[in-house]
């Protein structure tokens, strides 16, 4: 599996990444052996970029990822985690977390983008994972915390990066306009863009993607299925789009894209994975993977050839924006 460099950093990530939110019991319980098997399958398939966060399962995702990587050669993989949500003791537990993860709520999340909060969060993450370092650190969903995130958290991360403690720094969220500000106005090297450069939403072409190009920075793309509507060969009513029931007009549009994909000998989910990487700023697509079977499917979809003519046809039919760039692998800094 090819690696792509995060520009102007020592960090290179595999084109496909393992998103570890789901192994933190997102929406339902994932048994420890199932999570371990998924991580083993990802490793065996050549995936070497793994993304986690304290938020995911109140630390469960970080613990499981660290355990799976414990005996792997440390210089052979890249791990990212996030800061901004400190885990603190919950003085009033109700038994189960109320933010989508099926875990006990003995801990709770506390927003904190201060310098001290960043340092404490990183120390806690290293303890939970058992790792000796993090390769990438993102500010996690700083939507309502711009001032503290930009003025305190990012400078703290930049200091650690400049000392060689962290390889690359950035922010992750689904608001592309704010991510563009991080690229333009702060020391961020990379942003994790959720759901804003997909077959159904190319709004990142208006802000974060040109900002990344203009400033020589990189983008990791997540949420490429838009919560599910793009994840099946034939989209249907009742599927989710950005965590809500998909509107009928979007279902029809997804179905129209799927029909074009079929004519070009590919599938909607394969095209959904391939699409973000047609942009020269995008270095990686990271997908949530709960089981070894999901890993196998995603790796197979990632490996499928998607003809460049597909994008031309989708542009011609008005199914994607006319200013979507044409795929060109040579635009991407790459190492094998």
Query: Hey, which residues does 85 pair with through a beta bridge?
Result: 111
Q: How far apart are CA 178 and CA 185, in angstroms?
A: 10
Residue owning tokens 């993989």 = 77
| Coil, strand or helix at 194 | strand
Among 56, 77, 138, 241, the one annotated catalytic: 56
- CA 250, CA 65: separation in Å to the nearest integer? 35
Sole residue written with tokens 């460049």: 308
CA-CA distance, 207 to 184, in Å (whole number)? 10
- 56 included as an active-site residue: yes
**88 beta partners:** 108
Give the end-to-end CA distance of the chain in Å, rounded to a whole number.
Answer: 7
Angle at 59 between CA 53 and CA 60, to 5 degrees: 110
- Here the tokens at position 1 are 């599996």
Which two tokens mark 238?
């009742």
- Catalytic residues, which ones? 56
């Amino acid at each position: 599996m090819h690696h792509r460099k995060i520009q102007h950093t020592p960090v290179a990530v595999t084109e496909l990444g393992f998103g570890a939110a789901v192994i933190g019991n997102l929406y339902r319980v994932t048994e420890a052996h199932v999570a371990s098997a998924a991580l083993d399958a990802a490793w065996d398939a050549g995936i070497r970029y793994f993304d986690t966060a304290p938020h995911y399962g109140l630390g469960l995702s970080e613990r499981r990822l660290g355990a799976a990587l414990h005996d792997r050669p440390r210089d052979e993989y890249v791990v990212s985690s996030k800061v901004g949500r400190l885990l603190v003791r919950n003085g009033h537990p109700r038994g189960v977390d109320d933010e989508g993860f099926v875990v006990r709520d003995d801990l709770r999340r506390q927003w904190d983008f201060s310098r001290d909060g960043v340092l404490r969060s990183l120390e806690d993450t290293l303890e939970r994972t058992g790792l000796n370092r993090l390769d990438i650190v993102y500010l996690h969903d700083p939507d309502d915390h711009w001032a503290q995130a930009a003025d305190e958290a990012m400078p703290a991360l930049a200091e650690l990066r400049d000392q060689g403690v962290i390889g690359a720094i950035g922010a992750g969220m689904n608001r592309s306009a704010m991510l563009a500000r991080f690229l333009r106005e702060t020391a961020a090297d990379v942003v994790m863009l959720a759901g804003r450069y997909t077959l159904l939403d190319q709004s990142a072409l208006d802000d974060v993607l040109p900002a990344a190009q203009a400033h020589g920075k990189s983008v990791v793309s997540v949420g490429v299925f838009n919560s599910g509507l793009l994840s099946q060969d034939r989209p249907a009513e009742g599927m989710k789009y950005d965590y809500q029931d998909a509107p009928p007009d979007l279902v029809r549009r997804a179905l129209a894209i799927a029909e074009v994909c079929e004519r070009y000998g590919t599938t909607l989910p394969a095209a959904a994975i391939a699409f973000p990487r047609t942009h020269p700023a995008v270095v990686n697509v990271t997908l949530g993977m709960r089981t070894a079977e999901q890993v196998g499917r995603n790796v197979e979809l990632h490996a499928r050839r998607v003809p460049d003519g597909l994008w031309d046809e989708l542009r011609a039919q008005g199914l994607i924006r006319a200013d979507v760039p044409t795929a060109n692998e040579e635009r991407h800094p790459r190492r094998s």
